[in-house]
């Protein structure tokens, strides 16, 4: 199984572009999954440079409904529509990912209508879904770790128009159940990386973790939250920790003490069994 980072905040290669967002391309043999789409068409341009035909993805999975993970979807749809005879791709996300979301008087949520998604056979699920024999969409994450999943970000609007503080309950991730343990790929970890890891272990009935890849939502965190996260991750015996996107430099320095931190960059490809 291979994971290639197509969008992240950092790139070291002059032919690849970075932006404040996330997208990962997961290849399990002939089965392909695109997790998130960043904020623009950068993921498509990077994929072209890397010679990855991501339009052939079996699934597009959205980790949650924020702009920096979903606004690239319209460019993916436009390219699918422009090319006839292409393999169908299914779209999977939590129902709340479609809710209108705002922060600081600006729109930060999903920007497409349901009718625009029909080319991707959209599916909404708060429950776990096996994408194939080894890749699992984790569904709504149970928030059991005491220090995690307590913060809100902006507001969400319920279908009846009611506005409320947004705990980002649509946040989810993907787990790969490999021969040597789990690989967990997450977008932003708003629900807490400890909670995500616990759910992946529980659903996959596997304690070993080969890697955690993705955003950890540690951007200017409270010192006590960062300390608790590092302490918790130290108990998890993680192989590779690839702290992407919404993980700031101070948080990476703290995480580096664990001894397993992999520097993230657009174009990074990691392989696992």
**To which residue do tokens 């404040």 refer?**
20
pTM for the model stands at 0.97
CA distances 125 to 69, 92, 101, 107, Å, are: 18, 7, 19, 23
Query: Which tokens sit at 230?
Result: 């590092």
Sheet holding 59-61, edge to edge: 122-124, 90-93, 59-61, 31-35, 23-28, 2-7, 269-271
Given a cut of 90, whether residue 124 has pLDDT beyond it is yes
- Classify strands 155-157 and 269-271 as parallel, antiparallel or unpaired: unpaired
pLDDT in the model for residue 137: 98
Alpha-carbon span 238 to 259, nearest angstrom: 10
Confidence of residue 166 (pLDDT cuts 50, 70, 90): very high
Return the closest-CA partner of residue 108 out of 99, 95, 96: 99
% of the chain at pLDDT higher than 70:
100
> How would residue 74 be classed by pLDDT, with cut points 50, 70 and 90?
very high
- 83 pLDDT band, cuts 50/70/90, is confident
pLDDT in tens, 35-73: 999 999 999 999 999 999 999 999 999 999 999 999 999
166: tokens are 């947004």
CB of 241 closer than 8 Å to CB of 260: yes
The confidence score (pLDDT) of residue 117 equals 96
- pLDDT of 87 strictly over 90: no
Residue among 91, 99, 94 nearest 119 (CA): 91
| pLDDT (tens digit per residue) in 180-191 | 999 999 999 999
- Tell me the mean pLDDT in the region 95-101: 98
pLDDT one-digit tens code per residue, 105-117: 999 999 999 999 9
Q: What is the pLDDT of residues 235-271, one digit of tens each?
A: 999 999 999 999 999 999 999 999 999 999 999 999 9
Distance (Å, whole) CA 192 – CA 213? 13
Question: 75 pLDDT band (50/70/90 cuts)?
Answer: very high
Q: Write down the pLDDT at residue 86.
A: 78
- pLDDT tens readout for residues 187-235: 999 999 999 999 999 999 999 999 999 999 999 999 999 999 999 999 9
CA 67, CA 135: separation in Å to the nearest integer?
A: 25
Q: How confident is the model at residue 129 (pLDDT cuts 50, 70, 90)?
A: very high
């Amino acid at each position: 199984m291979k994971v290639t980072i197509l969008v992240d905040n950092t790139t070291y290669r002059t032919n690849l572009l970075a932006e404040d967002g996330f997208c990962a391309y997961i290849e399990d043999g002939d089965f392909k999954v695109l997790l998130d789409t960043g904020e623009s068409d950068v993921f498509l341009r990077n994929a072209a440079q890397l010679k990855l035909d991501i339009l052939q993805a079996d699934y597009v999975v959205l980790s949650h409904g924020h702009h920096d993970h979903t606004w690239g979807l319209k460019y993916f749809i436009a390219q699918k529509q422009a090319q006839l005879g292409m393999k169908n791709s299914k779209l999977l996300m939590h129902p709340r990912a479609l809710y209108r979301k705002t922060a600081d008087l600006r729109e930060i949520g999903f920007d497409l209508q349901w009718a625009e998604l029909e080319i991707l056979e959209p599916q909404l699920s708060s429950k776990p879904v096996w994408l194939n024999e080894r890749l699992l969409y984790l569904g709504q994450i149970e928030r059991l770790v005491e220090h995690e999943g307590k913060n809100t970000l902006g507001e969400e609007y319920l279908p009846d128009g009611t506005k409320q503080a947004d705990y980002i309950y649509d946040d989810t991730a993907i787990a790969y159940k490999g021969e040597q343990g789990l690989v967990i790929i997450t977008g932003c970890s708003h629900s807490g990386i400890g909670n995500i890891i616990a759910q992946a272990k529980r659903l996959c009935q596997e304690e070993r973790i080969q890697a955690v890849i993705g955003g950890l939502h540690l951007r200017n965190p409270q010192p006590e939250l960062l300390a608790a996260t590092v302490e918790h991750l130290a108990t998890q015996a993680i192989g590779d920790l690839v702290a992407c996107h919404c993980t700031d430099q101070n948080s990476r320095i703290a995480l580096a003490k664990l001894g397993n931190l992999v520097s993230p960059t657009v174009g990074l490809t990691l392989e696992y069994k």
